[in-house]
Amino acid sequence: MFSDKSVKEFVDLVASDAPVPGGGSVSALVGALSAALLEMVTSLTIGRKKYVEVEEEMVKFRVEFMELRSKLLNLMEEDARSYDVVIKAYGLPKDGEEEKSIRFQAIQDGLYGAALVPLEVAKTCLQTLYSVEEVLTKGNKNAYSDVKVAGVMLRSALYGACYNVKINLESIKDEKRVEFLKKSIKELLGEADLLEKRVIDLEVI
Question: Which domains, ranges and CATH numbers included, belong to the chain?
Answer: 20-201 (1.20.120.680)
**Would you state the pLDDT for residue 205?**
65
Beta strands in the chain (DSSP E): none
| Measured distance CA(28)–CA(18) in Å, rounded | 18
DSSP 110-156: HHHHHHHHHHHHHHHHHHHHTTHHHHHHHS-GGGHHHHHHHHHHHHH
Q: What does the alpha-carbon distance between residue 32 and residue 30 come to, in Å, rounded to a whole number?
A: 5
Query: Sorting pLDDT into bands at 50, 70 and 90, what band is 3?
Result: confident
- Going by C-alpha positions, the residue among 78, 67, 72, 71 that lies closest to residue 1 is 78
Share of the chain above pLDDT 70, in %: 100
State mean pLDDT over 95-121: 96
Per-residue pLDDT reduced to its tens digit, 34-44: 999 999 999 99
Task: Tell me the average pLDDT of the chain.
Answer: 95
What per-residue confidence (pLDDT) applies to 133? 96
Q: pLDDT digit string (tens) for 51-92?
A: 999 999 999 999 999 999 999 999 999 999 999 999 999 999
d(CA 125, CA 151): 10
Q: Do 112 and 167 meet the contact criterion of CB atoms below 8 Å apart? A: no
> Of 88, 117, 115, which Cα lies nearest the Cα of 103?
88
Beta-carbon contacts of residue 68 (< 8 Å; ≥ 6 apart): 31, 32, 35, 124, 127, 128
Residues with Cβ within 8 Å of residue 52, at least 6 apart in sequence:
none
Q: Is it the case that residue 130 has pLDDT exceeding 80?
A: yes
Residue 97 CB-density burial (10 A; 0-12 exposed, 13-18 middle, 19+ buried): exposed
